[in-house]
Amino acid sequence: MNPEIYAGVDIGSANVICVVAEADEHGVLHITGAGQAPTSGSVLEGVIVDLEGAAEAVSQAVEEAESISSWKIIDTAVSISGSHVRGFPGRGTVNVEREDEFVSGKVTWMDIEDAMETAQLIKLPRESMVLRTEKCGYTIDGSSRLLRPPVGLRAERLTADIYMVTADRTAVLNLEQVILDAGKNVSAIYPAASAAARSVLTPDEMEMGVVLVDIGADTTDIAVFHSGVLAHLAVIPGGGESITRALQQIRIPRHEAERLKREYIDLAGRSKTGNREITVSSFGGRSTIPITDEVVNEIAYRSAGNLIGDILCELKQAGIQESDLPAGIVLSGGTSYLRGLSSVASRIIGIPVEVGKPGGIEMSSSMIENAEFANAVGLVLLSHEEENEYEKRKESNPLGKVASRIKGMIRKLR
């Protein structure tokens, strides 16, 4: 029998990352391969702008992962980002059919499905489509929110709360096309923030209240969890690339600005930096420019401060309070490596901020523990989880229809 193989492809503004995992007989996932390739301008602010370039990068990353894992990938889960990816809550209520005049009826799977469908009845702009529908809980006759479907309980009315994530239809089609052009099929599409959250956050943190902030090159993907469910999802423009660009203000080439950012910046320790001189090459590399670390740290601090301000603004606009987030903020993505970023973010936002790393999976290579891999690792974990759930539902109840319809939506696009 062929083992269960799962693949995840994260197409970022800087890199494509592919992870392949295999489920063992106990259902535990083991990473068997990983690959990475630069997107070289084919993805801007998380959105594909050059099909050929992006497909080339995907092929390269996938081939590397395939050669390590020695499995050929046929289907892959893929993440989507960009500020067109948005989330909002939905609520649907249905009357439960009474047994007779005096006795209220029992909630059935059909009622659950009807309430979920009613919750999804919203008018979307023509260019948008529903990408995911997360279940957030149920209420019967004024009870507090129940996380499990209250099937069999007697009730007059049933309310389902959901959280929907929508995306621009064209961006989704382009993403699917890139994967097809790279010779693979798309098995599922997940918002990048949900994927990163799945591999980085613990169930305890999600229960208490936490924010996952994945800061990449050009986008910052945000997912807020409370009571174990997704409470808010957004993508804001900006990431590590804006800090690199800010450093170029001192008239240096991009690669030198990138080197400064990785080697010399320490946002938290900037008050301790003296006037240590750093030598960087000028544009064209014909001369060198002397600069102090105090100056470069100040530039990086201002740029990072703007980004942190935007994150804070997004949380405030969504009505999320400090008290909703006892587990604080967990960072992932390549920019989480920027020295001092977490302590400066914690000071500005006023809650604990930590750097997370992908987990919840067996991995032999330490490369995958890198924060840039959070998203791709999360994709294989989510795919495995969804597959298990789908199989279980197919066996036990007709709600399996919902799962297949959500999966089917991706196919219907073509």
Partner interacting with residue 164 (select from Mg ion, ligand ATP, none; CB below 5-8 Å by kind): none
- Binding segment for ligand ATP (CB under 6 A), chosen from 156-164, 240-248, 295-303, 321-329, is 240-248
Contact between 244 and 255 (Cβ < 8 Å)? no
Site string for ligand ATP, 198-237 (x = CB under 6 A): ------------------xxxx------------------
Q: What is the phi/psi pair of residue 196, to 5°?
A: -60, -40
Asked if 378 is part of the footprint of ligand ATP (rule: CB under 6 A), the reply reads no
Separation CA 382–CA 192 (nearest Å): 11
Assess 258 for contact with ligand ATP (CB under 6 A).
yes
Write down the H helix ranges in 248-373: 254-263, 293-317, 341-349
- Closer CB to Mg ion, residue 168 or residue 266? 168
132: its two tokens:
């995911």
Report the distance separating Cα 181 and Cα 184, nearest Å.
Answer: 7
Cβ at position 224, least distance to Mg ion in Å: 18
Closer of 46 and 90 to ligand ATP (Cβ): 46
Give the dihedral sign, CA 202/18/128/114: negative
Closer CB to Mg ion, residue 94 or residue 376? 376
Kindly tell me which of 12 and 358 has the beta carbon lying closer to Mg ion. Answer: 12
Is 378 in contact with 194 (CB distance < 8 Å)?
yes
Q: Is 166 in the site for ligand ATP (CB under 6 A)?
A: no
Select from 32, 42, 335, 383 the one that contacts ligand ATP (CB under 6 A). Answer: 335
Distance, in Å, from the CA atom of 227 to the CA atom of 233, rounded to the nearest integer, reads 15
Q: Calculate the alpha carbon distances from 50 to 63, 107, 223 in Å.
A: 20, 50, 27
Q: What's the min distance (Å) between Cβ of 159 and ligand ATP?
A: 36
Partner whose binding site includes residue 390, from ligand ATP, Mg ion, none (CB under 5 to 8 Å by kind):
none
Cα 238 to Cα 219, 257, 304, 352, 412, distances in angstroms: 5, 17, 10, 22, 32
AA letter at 162: I
* Residue closer to ligand ATP (CB basis): 226 or 339: 339
Q: Which of 86, 259, 262, 407 binds ligand ATP (CB under 6 A)?
A: 262
Determine which residue in the list 261, 297, 368, 383 makes contact with ligand ATP, applying CB under 6 A.
261
CA 69 – CA 145 distance, rounded (Å): 44
CB of 240 to ligand ATP, least distance (A): 3
**Which residue type occupies 312?**
L
Candidates 5, 6, 12, 82: give the one binding Mg ion (CB under 5 A). 12
200-237 burial, b for 16+ CB within 10 Å, e for fewer?
A: bbeeebbebbbbbbbbbbbbbbbbbbbebbbbbbbbbe
CA distance 355 to 336: 6
Pick between residue 149 and residue 216 the one whose CB is nearest to ligand ATP. Answer: 216
Non-local CB neighbours of 89 within 8 Å, separated by 6+ positions:
136, 161, 162, 163, 164
| DSSP annotation string for 343-384 | HHHHHHHSS-EEE----SSB-S-GGGGSGGGHHHHHHHHHHH
8 is a site residue for Mg ion (CB under 5 A): no
Is 372 an interacting residue with respect to ligand ATP (CB under 6 A)? yes
Residue 87, contacted partner among Mg ion, ligand ATP, none, CB below 5-8 A by kind: none
Nearer to ligand ATP, 207 or 258 (CB): 258
Q: In whole angstroms, how close is the CB of 345 to ligand ATP at the nearest point?
A: 14
Which stretch, 32-40, 142-150, 215-223, 305-313, contacts Mg ion (CB under 5 A)?
Answer: 215-223
**Toward ligand ATP, which CB reaches closer, 159 or 336?**
336
d(CA 308, CA 300): 12
Nearer to ligand ATP, 111 or 214 (CB): 214
User: CA–CA distance from 261 to each of 146, 215, 222, 413 (Å)?
Assistant: 47, 15, 23, 42
Residues numbered 11-70 forming contacts with ligand ATP, rule: CB under 6 A: 12-15, 46
**Minimum distance of Mg ion from residue 358's CB (angstroms):** 13
Q: Which residues bind ligand ATP (CB under 6 A)?
A: 12-15, 46, 81, 216-219, 239-241, 244, 258, 261-262, 333-335, 337-338, 372
Q: Which residues bind Mg ion (CB under 5 A)?
A: 12, 216
